[in-house]
Structure 1
Amino acid sequence: MEVEKPQNISMTYNRKAGDNSNSNSIKNMIPSEFIRSEKEQPALTTVEGTVLEVPTIDLGERDEEKLVGAISKASQEWGLFQVVNHGIPVPVIQKLQSVGKEFFELPQQEKEAYSIKPAGYEGSEGYATKIRPFTTTNSNNNNDSQQQQQQQKQADDSVRPWVDHLFHNIWPPSAINYHFWPKNPPSYREANEEYAKHLIGVTEKLMAYWAKGLGVEEGRIKEAGGGDEIVYLGKINYYPPCPCPELALGVAAHTDLSLLTVLIPNDVAGLQVCRDGLWYNVHYIPNALIIHIGDQLEVLSNGKYKAVLHRTTVNKEKTRMSWPVFIEPPPHHVVGPIPELITHQNPPNYKTKKFVDYKYCKLNRLPQ
């Protein structure tokens, strides 16, 4: 049975908090399954008073050597950066955000229709409150069924994130399943397709610059990541007001599975990154794109570019939303360090494997 969504829990608490007889007991409580351990609780682990100014990359820079150097440096030292002058019109971004917000304001029953998976479907698309561990019939995994079941149980029993989300592929056409695209609001499809059209150009520029930063041909990152079959997996994160934001997290600490992730948040702060073992809030430039280095780009670069460890906090009064797009290899594409980077002095630091197998291991918490 599907667990109750944080959005519904938040509304229930807000109603009860309005009752004076219950307000004192309600305002300081959330269900125990959302409470993080002390080593994760934001109130105990966030460096207060410091907001990180992560590197800002101006894609309008005409000096390509300077641009490549800045992107490479940020990717090595930070694992993320913000992009300005990216060429995506502000109205396109605003429309994407508007239709996403409208979807989450729909009646619960209407949203739940997008949590239903078609027969035989094993992917991660749809409306949910928790990412389901990935399943596959691939027989190449060497872990026995008992270990898988144990790890599966561990994943199922983990503390819940304070977030509802919607996943669906937005590119290429061969990967799109419109079953998971909301029909309401009516302009939802148009807004997402328009954003995808602009986003592809930005990400392909970035991949070319990353390749140049590694000293390989500019098309090499795209080719090694899956070429024209690279998948753009869109997501909307909805973090409703939380009665005890000091105890909960929207998303726990993680690195992304993807090659890269392009993120647009609303105006409510919440992104945190880990630097030297400490957690910091990140300053966001309105209408910028936040770029996360993902696991697969770290693998392709043989560790030169670093996937960023990050998490999301929540707010007591306001709803935070974000629109990440995970740019991923197609499922059966084989990913490993780019051969041109491998020498006797620089041996491979990562295994070469199908993305579907990497994803299976990570989401099921199994060794890679």
Structure 2
Amino acid sequence: MLIPHPSMLVAPQNTLGNDMEGQQQNFDGPLMPNQSNIPSEFVWPDNEKPCLVAPELKIPPIDMKGFLSGDPQTVSKICAEVSEACKKHGFFLVVNHGVDKKLIDQAHKLIDTFFCMDLPDKQKAQRKLGEHCGYANSFIGRFSSKLPWKETLSFHYSADNSGKTVEDYFVNVLGEDFRQFGILFQEYCEVMSNLALEIMELLGMSLGVDRECFREFFKNNESVMRLNYYPPCQKPELALGTGPHCDPTSLTILHQDQVEGLQVQVDGKWYSVAPKEDAFVVNIGDTFMALSNGIFKSCLHRAVVNNQIVRKSLAFFLCPNREKLVTPPKDLITMENPQAYPEFTWPSLLEFTQKHYRSDTKTLDAFATWLREKNK
């Protein structure tokens, strides 16, 4: 059921006027539903404009409880399903994951609370140019065209047990009043990290390597959590909530609210991934594609917007510890399948995608070329 956001019931002063073209933009989510003429910076080229109605992508619901049961027949079936999906497009669902529904619901409520604050309050956490954490209103300042119709808040999570990185972030950046935000999202990230490590066991077995191989690699992960807020857009046929991209990270665990928007490109055609309240959408990122020696695919995906209701999502991006060398296990390097990409550390790929390259299907190839030139 579509319930209009409260901000749609009032008519606040425009933050993006028709005379703003070419000037510095301000994107404030709760005020955007009233923009009847969206600025040209948000209009995507004809060959990239969204198809608002796309066929649903059939992706396997992976039963994590069944996988962890240890039943050989069940585990074998699940690994085969994951392997098939990840070789084709890198997307699957996880169900019976054991994550408390109350925790998920509370996290979604806090998304509303944060993004409905006044813009100056949100901008206390403004992301600095070249950095990947903080508040971003449509990546203004980073890109000059094809801007995404969204706001985000991203923050760092460390699994090395050295401190409460998420809680400290909210208190240090936004103040003591945000400690409960920090406590809630600290718990959410810890739960996501544990789930990600279980999924890494599954991916390892699906690739035919030791079950502990990737779990051990990501044990002390230094990951990123992102809150996404997509306000209604009066011309959704012209804009995109998130442009086509592949995640440069290792693994994404996404929880969508009940508003459709996620689309995945398979064999040149766009498909929608329908929201399922009891499931997480999982997809392979470029870093794990390199770890799998190109066997598992990082796939192009995007988010479309609508003209009726806010869409929200919670995205946990699993990343390795910054000192880990990203290189495939020896079992995945053969005469028939030699090492596809040079070894690297995650911070170098992050630098490349934040400062030098807008992520797409060729990110890893472009990064490999850049890395070789840099290391000469």
Q: TM-score, normalised by structure 2?
A: 0.80
Partner of 1:266: 257
In the alignment, structure 1 residue 64 sits paired with structure 2 residue 75: yes
Q: Counterparts of 1:208-227 in structure 2 under 5 Å?
A: 208-224=201-217, 227=218
Residue 58 of structure 2 is matched in structure 1 by: 53
1:105 maps to what in 2? Answer: 116
Q: Please say if residues 99 and 185 of structure 1, whose CA atoms lie closer than 8 Å, have aligned partners that are also in contact.
A: no
Q: What is the DSSP-based 3-state SS (H/G/I as helix, E as strand, rest coil) of the residue aligned with 1:229?
A: coil
2:86 counterpart of 1:75: yes
1:70-149 to 2 correspondences below 5 Å: 70-115=81-126, 123-131=131-139
Q: Compared with structure 1, are the counterparts of its residues 87 and 255 closer, same or farther at alpha carbon in structure 2 (3 Å cutoff)?
A: same
Secondary structure in 2 matching 1:189:
helix
Query: C-alpha deviations, 1:40-93, integer Å up to 9, x for none?
Result: 1114xx6x4622232211112242222222222222223111111000011111
Secondary structure of 1:344 counterpart: coil
Kindly indicate whether the alpha-carbon contact (under 8 Å) linking 1:124 and 1:132 is maintained by their aligned counterparts in 2: no
The amino acid that maps onto 1:7 is: G
CA 1:213–1:274: 2 relative to 1, 3 Å: same
Q: Aligned in 2, Cα 1:37/1:131: closer, same or farther, shift over 3 Å?
A: same
In the TM superposition, residue 6 of structure 1 has moved relative to its aligned partner by 4.5
Aligned-partner SS, 2:331: helix
1:9-46 Cα shifts (integer Å, max 9, x gaps): 51553xxxxxxxxxxxxx3x211110000011114xx6
Aligned to 1:137: none
Cα contact 2:28–2:119 (8 A) shared by 1: no
Q: 214, 221, 243: which one pairs with 2:234?
A: 243
Matched with 2:157 is 170
Provide the secondary structure at the position in 2 that maps to 1:350. Answer: coil
Task: Name the residue aligned to 2:292.
Answer: 301
Q: In structure 1, what residue type is equivalent to 2:87?
A: Q
Q: Distance in 1 between matches of 2:221 and 2:278?
A: 25
Gaps of 5+ in 2: 1-22, 358-362, 368-376
Q: Deviations over 1:296-328 (max 9, x none)?
A: 111111111111210000011101111101001
- Equivalent positions of 1:276-287 (< 5 A) are 276-287=267-278
The equivalent of 2:331 in structure 1 is 340
Aligned residue identity for 1:103: F
Change (3 A) 1:269 1:116: closer
- In structure 1, the partner of 2:181 is 188
Q: 1:161 to 1:122 in 2, by over 3 A?
A: closer
Q: In structure 2, how many angstroms separate the alpha carbons of the residues matched to 1:189 and 1:101?
A: 15
Q: How many residues align?
A: 325
Once the 2 structures are TM-superposed, how far is the Cα of residue 132 of structure 1 from its aligned partner?
A: 8.2
SS across alignment from 2:65: coil
In the TM superposition, what is the alpha-carbon distance from 1:232 to its structure 2 partner? 2.2
Structure 1 residues 49, 240: CA separation in 2 closer, same or farther (over 3 Å shift)? closer
- The Cα of 1:131 is off from its aligned counterpart by 4.6
Determine which structure has greater relative contact order: mean sequence separation of CA pairs < 8 Å that are 6+ residues apart, divided by chain length: 1
- Give the match for residue 152 of structure 1: none
1:279 Cα offset (Å) = 1.0
The AA in structure 2 aligned to 1:34 is F
Q: CA RMSD in A?
A: 2.4
Distance in 2, Cα, partners of 1:162 & 1:232: 24
Deviation larger for 317-326 or 199-208: 199-208
Misfit runs of 4+, over 3 Å: 130-133, 179-186
Instruction: State the SS of the aligned residue for 1:203.
Output: helix
User: Equivalent residue for 1:146?
Assistant: none
Report the TM-score, using the length of structure 1 for normalisation. Answer: 0.81
Q: Determine if contact 1:170/1:192 at 8 Å carries over to the other structure.
A: no
SS of corresponding position for 1:52: coil
